[in-house]
Amino acid sequence: MARYGMMIDTRKCVGCFACRVACQMKNTLGPKEGFVHFEFLESGTYPDVSSEAIPMQCMHCADAPCEKVCPTGATYINEAGVVLVDANKCIGCKYCMVACPYSVRMIEEISGVVEKCRFCWDDEMGGPNNPSCVATCIADARVFGDLDDPNSDVAVAIAANDAQPIAGDLTEAKIFYVR
């Protein structure tokens, strides 16, 4: 079985928010809701300054703290290692929001369910499509695929760029960054 993950190259990301908007449209989220948010870091001193856009989303941790604290089992990790939420089991207690070290969970306005990125997982189709954030990225800053296949685009890109999880070994994240 595949183990899915993503690489994000912040050297290429221009902070255009196309990934966020595509995700909002795909998941019918409101204008203030989003599974992707941005951190912007500025460095240097005038006149030599630079800015880095860092897209943040669920890291799909293999050791997901959010899953461990969910009292109903609404948050779970499927056979492909994708962290998902069963909306029918979620009671909106927000334990998962507190446990997430990346602060990437949100409460869906209409349902009250605590939601997050799902890698555009589609149970009916038996797996992921190319996530909308990857397909929409104008700078080709995102690569998605099977982390266990050494020949997959994502595995090759991670190795070639020495991509690392955003927070080191805080969790076993499946989103890798090039910075």
Q: Which two tokens mark 55? A: 């897209």
User: What is the tens place of the pLDDT at every residue in 92-115?
Assistant: 999 999 999 999 999 998 889 999
Provide the whole-model pTM: 0.93
Distance, in Å, from the CA atom of 179 to the CA atom of 177, rounded to the nearest integer, reads 6
State which amino acid sits at residue 69.
V
What single DSSP character describes residue 128?
A: E
Residue 121, strand partner residues? 128
Domain count, the chain: 1
User: What is the tens place of the pLDDT at every residue in 62-80?
Assistant: 999 999 999 999 999 999 8
Sign of the four-CA dihedral 87, 115, 164, 142 = positive
CATH of the domain at 19: 3.30.70.20
Task: Give the model's pLDDT for residue 126.
Answer: 58
Give the mean pLDDT of the chain.
94
Residue numbers of the domain that contains 30 = 4-178
